[in-house]
């Protein structure tokens, strides 16, 4: 649709400036706290990843000391933009962060944005920059950024993603900017300037999926959003209609957008509630999860050992087979986009978490050998059903000829229709943080986040994530 006479930039800014904690739906607050717990765990786990460590080393020679904390393996204090950048890359380094959903038939289910990490890392960085930020204020800012990010991702022409942009890097920048703008107390006009600055900084292309640069997209989104908000706070100006118009973000990055998905819709309802968000059970693309759960059920229910598997065939449509593109994985980054690896990991370990997503596990002879017996196949009947759900079928042929066939459950684990339980979410946090935190420290964090709206200063939570505290 034409963007020449729309006022989406103004609407987004007005929403962010005016949002109060009391106006937030209780369900948005409840799910938001789950996303905060999930995101913190992922930042801590991702601090060990090579891409994060390289960026940390880079920051030591290029960034001044500051007030904002790097979380995880090498805690230090940097300026807010750099802290958001590095925590952001850590949060997406394992590709385990949550996914925004879209159920519209013209969309590719699940492929909108990873909404939590950009506004979360921006909020953490700015909270320490300004000091004395309460839990209510923090949650309000986080959910403001989360909502604007999701509505932009929902509205932009699907070609934005299909043609190669990585929405978590491009649109995620606005989530970070709006969360930072809320905490910094920007006026509506300043927020519009921040949106304009962000629109010229947003970046990320899908060719880098399966490399260190994919998580860099999310780190840059967080750092750029913080930078944009801080510049706007200091009087830096940009076009005040930067989402709209023939040269605005929607037109340039997406060749248009669906006005009905954003105009008058920001916060009505909050996307985190409806259609919801998926908190991932596995550290890889959401499109793979139903197939992995099917494989898990097949091997556990039939007590199948890897050596007994003659062949595995995954049947799916192009929505899965195109982005999950590696036939054989040679490192853990490729493994996240390699169905033979993902199914092999499940068959070998009967799980797929921190231990399995390492270069060592991917390249172990047993893993490499089993991948050779697993392949994918395009299924035109599955394709014809559309992309509004994640559909696939797994066929396992055993030595001796027995064949086991099972279709993926469209109500996949982790999605809004079948969410992770609190115990499963805490188990995921434990898997992420065992190298850093003991049981007592984790239990303290669980309690703090469960009552996050009652916390006097978010710095208490940040302090609780530090090893040995």
Domain locations along the chain = 8-281+444-464, 286-407
Question: Is 286-407 the same fold as 8-281+444-464?
Answer: no
pLDDT at 83: 97
Yes or no: say if 156 and 102 are a contact pair by the CB < 8 Å rule.
no
Pairing of strands 65-69, 403-407: unpaired
DSSP letter for each residue of 243-267? TSSTTSHHHHHHS-B-GGGTTTTTT
Q: How far, in Å, CA of 392 to CA of 406, rounded?
A: 9
For residue 396, how many other CB atoms are within 10 A of its CB?
Answer: 24
DSSP 118: H
Strand-pair partners of 378: 316
pLDDT in tens, 291-327: 999 999 999 999 999 999 999 999 999 989 998 989 9
DSSP 364: S
pLDDT in tens, 63-90: 788 999 999 988 899 999 999 999 999 9
The two tokens of residue 74 are 């090498």
Task: Please say if the pLDDT value at position 423 is more than 70.
Answer: yes
Residue whose C-alpha is closest to residue 332's, from 428, 244, 442, 210: 210
Kindly report the average pLDDT of the chain as a whole number. 94
Yes or no: say if 108 and 162 are a contact pair by the CB < 8 Å rule.
yes
What are the φ and ψ backbone dihedral angles of 273, each rounded to 5 degrees? -95, -45
3-state secondary structure of 218: helix
pLDDT at 311: 98
Residue whose C-alpha is closest to residue 83's, from 129, 50, 38, 45: 129
DSSP 396: E
Question: At CA 15, angle to CA 13 and CA 17, rounded to 5?
Answer: 70
Yes or no: say if 120 and 65 are a contact pair by the CB < 8 Å rule.
no
Average pLDDT over residues 270-296: 93
pLDDT in tens, 127-156: 999 999 999 999 999 999 999 999 999 999
pLDDT band at 3 (very low <50, low <70, confident <90, very high): very low
pLDDT at 2: 45
Topology of domain 8-281+444-464, per CATH? 2-methylcitrate dehydratase PrpD (1.10.4100)
3-state secondary structure of 404: strand
Determine the angle formed by the axes of helices 80-92 and 26-46, rounding to 10 degrees. 90
pLDDT in tens, 175-195: 999 999 999 999 999 999 999
Q: How far, in Å, CA of 455 to CA of 315, rounded?
A: 48
Yes or no: say if 416 and 354 are a contact pair by the CB < 8 Å rule.
no
Q: Which helix (H) or strand (E) holds 362?
A: helix 359-363
For the CA atoms of 75, 79, 81, 83, the dihedral, rounded to the nearest 10 degrees, stands at: 0
The two tokens of residue 266 are 């920001």
pLDDT in tens, 214-244: 999 999 999 999 999 999 999 999 999 999 9
Strand-pair partners of 77: 69
The two tokens of residue 261 are 């998905």
| Domain 286-407 homologous superfamily, CATH | 2-methylcitrate dehydratase PrpD (3.30.1330.120)
Yes or no: say if 139 and 29 are a contact pair by the CB < 8 Å rule.
yes
Residue whose C-alpha is closest to residue 286's, from 183, 135, 452, 416: 416
CA distances 36 to 11, 28, 40, 138, 425, Å, are 26, 12, 6, 11, 11
CA distances 432 to 72, 84, 435, 438, Å, are 11, 19, 8, 12
DSSP 214: H
Residue whose C-alpha is closest to residue 267's, from 159, 156, 144: 144
């Amino acid at each position: 649709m034409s963007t020449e006479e729309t006022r989406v930039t103004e609407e987004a800014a007005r929403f962010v400036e005016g949002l109060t904690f009391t106006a937030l739906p209780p369900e948005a607050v409840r799910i938001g706290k789950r996303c905060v717990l999930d995101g913190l765990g992922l930042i801590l786990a991702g601090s060990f990843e090579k891409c994060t460590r390289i960026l940390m080393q880079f920051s030591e020679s290029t960034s001044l000391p500051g007030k904002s904390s790097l979380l995880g393996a090498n805690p230090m204090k940097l300026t807010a933009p750099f802290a958001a950048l590095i925590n952001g890359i850590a949060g997406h380094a394992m590709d385990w962060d949550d996914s925004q959903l879209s159920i519209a038939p013209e969309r590719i289910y699940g492929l909108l944005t990873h909404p939590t990490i950009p506004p979360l890392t921006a909020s953490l960085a700015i909270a320490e920059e300004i000091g004395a930020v309460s839990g209510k204020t923090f949650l309000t800012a986080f959910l403001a950024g989360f909502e604007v990010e999701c509505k932009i991702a929902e509205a932009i022409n699907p070609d934005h993603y299909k043609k190669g942009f990585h929405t978590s890097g491009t649109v995620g920048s606005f989530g970070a900017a709006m969360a930072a703008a809320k905490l910094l107390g920007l006026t509506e006009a300043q927020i519009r300037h921040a949106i304009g600055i962000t629109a010229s900084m947003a970046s990320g292309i899908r060719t880098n999926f399966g490399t260190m640069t994919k998580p860099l997209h999310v780190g840059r989104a967080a750092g750029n959003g913080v930078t944009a908000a801080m510049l706007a706070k200091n009087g830096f100006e940009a076009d005040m209609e930067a989402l709209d118009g023939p040269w605005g973000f929607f037109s340039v990055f997406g060749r248009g957008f669906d006005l009905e998905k954003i105009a008058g819709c920001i916060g009505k309802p909050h996307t985190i509630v409806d259609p919801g968000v998926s908190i991932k059970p596995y550290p890889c693309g959401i499109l793979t999860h139903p197939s992995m759960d099917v494989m898990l059920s097949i091997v556990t229910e039939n007590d199948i050992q890897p050596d007994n598997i003659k062949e595995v065939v995954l049947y799916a449509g192009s929505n899965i087979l195109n982005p999950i593109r590696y036939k054989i994985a040679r490192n853990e980054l490729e493994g996240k986009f390699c169905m033979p690896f993902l199914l092999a990991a499940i068959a070998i370990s009967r799980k797929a978490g921190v231990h399995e997503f390492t270069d060592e596990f991917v390249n172990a002879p047993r893993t490499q050998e089993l991948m050779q017996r697993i392949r994918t196949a395009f299924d035109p009947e599955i394709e014809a059903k559309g992309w509004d759900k994640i559909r696939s079928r797994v066929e396992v042929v055993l030595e001796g000829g027995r064949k086991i066939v099972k279709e993926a459950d469209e109500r996949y684990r982790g999605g809004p229709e079948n969410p992770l339980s609190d115990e499963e979410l805490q188990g995921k946090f434990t898997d992420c943080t065992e190298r850093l935190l003991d049981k007592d420290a984790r239990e303290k964090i669980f309690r703090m986040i469960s009552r996050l709206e009652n916390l006097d200063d978010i710095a208490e939570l940040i302090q609780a994530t530090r090893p040995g505290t």
